[in-house]
A and B are shown apart, each in its own frame.
Chain A
Amino acid sequence: MSKVIVVTSGKGGVGKTTSAAAVSAGLAMRGHKTCVIDFDVGLRNLDMIMGCERRVVFDFINVIQGDAKLKQALIKDKRIDTLSVLPTSQTRDKDALTKEGVKQVLDELREEFDYIVCDSPAGIERGAHLAMYFADEAIVVTNPEVSSVRDSDRVLGLLNSKTHIAERGDGSAIRAHLLLTRFDNRRSASGEMMSVEDVLDILAIPLLGIIPESQTVLKASNVGMPVVMDDKSAAGKAYTEAVGRLLGEQIEIRMDVGERRGLWQRLMGRTA
């Protein structure tokens, strides 16, 4: 039974595409046949984060409009053979997405893949709405910052009302998980940044993982490699564990996340 997972947030710049890339690569590395779809029509970026931008020929919109077959548009990852990317159009706009078209593509993908990860655009307009509409589960990407938390709360409201599962009206709901990204343990400990508990108190959904603010994320995007493939970095490890939890494994959430700092830096940090 395949699963459609939307990676969403409301606010932009919180790490949706990074997380969609990392989670889909992580699922594929575990042997699950996984496809990740870019729903950000007009602002294609998942292809760059996945490192396949030079191999895009046809896209999601071409498939919806019948100009290309799904198989022609899917790009098989060269590093992980269970992973495919469905890029979006760089030239069209959001109106090219239709509910029927999205459903048709997802239904076809469900036949071949175990996991279909939908990378939502920012905002709550058409693209974001359709990215979440057919989802079975949701990963809500949030930064420990007031505007991000507020937008996540709004998105949770939409997940519980404006989706296929919610509209069935039989009381079933999308399983939503919180992925706290760009977290800085030191700033949280000093009271400058909301703590994990603060955000959990407010949003009241289960925590999938804490991704530390890390230089590795930028480095990974520079070279087009999902950060989860860097198993030495703190962010990579955090994504690997988040994927494990998504698969139902009991993995303790570690709070000591963050870049390691030397003794001198730690001493200086105290006095600043």
Chain B
Amino acid sequence: MFGFSFRPRKANSAQTAKERLQILLAHERGSGSSPEYLPILQKEILEVVRRHLKVADDAVDIRLERGDDLSSLEINIEVPTGGASTATQN
């Protein structure tokens, strides 16, 4: 009717803000601002992969998903068809 309500309205975005910050800062406090090892990891993975496969410089895609209890590191390597046979000679 008049929308008269004594309770705070439904979605509490302040709570969301606090939770997002807590998760983010838990990570940032541990390892500086951004995970600086990721570019190195990417380079090293590419080197290892290249011993066996012929892949392009931008074929490795690394994604990091930071969670509250668990973080996941996702590594995608794009392998061209027939790449394996040519690279074994290197």
Cα A270 to Cα B49 in complex, Å, equals 62
Q: Does B37 contact A (CB under 8 A)?
A: no
Q: Does A69 contact B (CB under 8 A)?
A: no
Cα A190 to Cα B8 in complex, Å, equals 5
Q: Mark A244-272, 1 if CB is under 8 A from B, else 0.
A: 00000000000000000000000000111
Interface residue tally on A, bucketed by range: 20 to 34
* Interface SS of A by simple majority: helix
* 7 tightest Cβ-Cβ pairs between the two chains A and B: A191-B12, A198-B18, A191-B8, A194-B14, A271-B3, A190-B8, A146-B17
Docked-complex contact A189 and B21, CB < 8 angstroms? no
Closest chain A CB from B68 CB (angstroms): 14
Chain A residues with a Cβ under 8 A of chain B: 144-146, 149-150, 153-154, 157, 188-195, 198, 201-202, 270-272
Which residue from A190, A192, A271 sits with its C-beta under 8 Å from B2?
Answer: A271
Chain A residues with Cβ below 8 Å from B6 are 270
Closest chain A CB from B14 CB (angstroms): 5
Count CB-based A-B contacts (< 8 Å): 51
Docked-complex contact A193 and B33, CB < 8 angstroms? no
Cα A150 to Cα B33 in complex, Å, equals 11
Cα A101 to Cα B3 in complex, Å, equals 62
Q: Which residue of B is nearest A195, CB measured?
A: B14
User: 7 interchain pairs (CB within 8 A)?
Assistant: A146-B20, A154-B28, A188-B14, A192-B13, A202-B18, A270-B4, A271-B2
Chain B residues with a Cβ under 8 A of chain A: 2-6, 8-9, 11-15, 17-18, 20-22, 24-25, 28-29, 33
Docked-complex contact A190 and B9, CB < 8 angstroms? yes
Docked-complex contact A153 and B28, CB < 8 angstroms? yes
Chain B residues with Cβ below 8 Å from A153 are 25, 28-29
Docked-complex contact A191 and B18, CB < 8 angstroms? no
Given contacts A270-B5, A271-B3, contact A150 B15 (CB under 8 A): no
Cα A145 to Cα B20 in complex, Å, equals 11
Given contacts A146-B21, A202-B22, A270-B4, contact A191 B9 (CB under 8 A): yes
Closest chain B CB from A79 CB (angstroms): 39
Cα A194 to Cα B24 in complex, Å, equals 16
**Among B14, B15, B25, which residue has the most Cβ atoms of chain A within 10 A?**
B14
Cα A149 to Cα B28 in complex, Å, equals 13
Chain A residues with Cβ below 8 Å from B22 are 201-202
